[in-house]
């Protein structure tokens, strides 16, 4: 199963403060992937990616970007994995959400 790129999506209380903090760790905003004004921003340091989200969700999320989330969804369902939010339709952007045994949120987001 190919999950694609990995990004830790962090819920933050002040996106500007968080952006500055992660810039000090060597991260830089990814062009075209949000902004401080939009209250969400994707940042990258080499192959490491984080998403900063202010006011969009309550928990941090492990995010993967597969090429075909629907095939993964079908595979997980056939293995008995519970999916909290399923992808609908036959093609195009979609995402699924599930939780690991400890309650950590995992999102597979095809864009």
* Tens-digit pLDDT profile for residues 52-94: 999 999 999 999 999 999 999 999 999 999 999 999 988 889 9
Number of independent structural domains in the chain: 1
**Do the bridges between strand 5-12 and strand 28-35 make them parallel or antiparallel, or are there none, so unpaired?**
unpaired
Give me the domain span that covers residue 20: 5-110
Tokens 């990004």 belong to which residue? 7
Q: How many CA atoms lie within 13 A of 10 on its CB side?
A: 15
Q: What is the CATH number of the domain that holds 20?
A: 3.10.180.10
Q: Which two tokens stand for residue 6?
A: 């990995």
Nearest to 96 by CA among 52, 55, 61: 61
pLDDT tens profile 4-19: 999 999 999 999 999 9
pLDDT of residue 34: 94
Query: Model pTM?
Result: 0.84
pLDDT of residue 1: 87
């Amino acid at each position: 199963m190919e999950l694609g790129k990995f990004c830790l999506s962090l819920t933050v209380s002040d996106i500007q403060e968080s952006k500055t903090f992660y810039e000090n760790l060597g991260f830089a905003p990814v062009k075209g992937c949000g902004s401080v004004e939009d209250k969400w921003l994707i940042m990258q340091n080499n192959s490491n990616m984080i998403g900063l989200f202010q006011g969009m969700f309550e928990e941090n999320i492990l995010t993967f970007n597969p090429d075909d989330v629907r095939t993964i969804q079908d595979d997980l369902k056939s293995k008995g994995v519970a999916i909290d939010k399923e992808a609908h339709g036959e093609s195009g952007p979609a995402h699924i959400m599930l939780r690991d045994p400890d309650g950590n949120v995992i999102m597979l987001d095809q864009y």
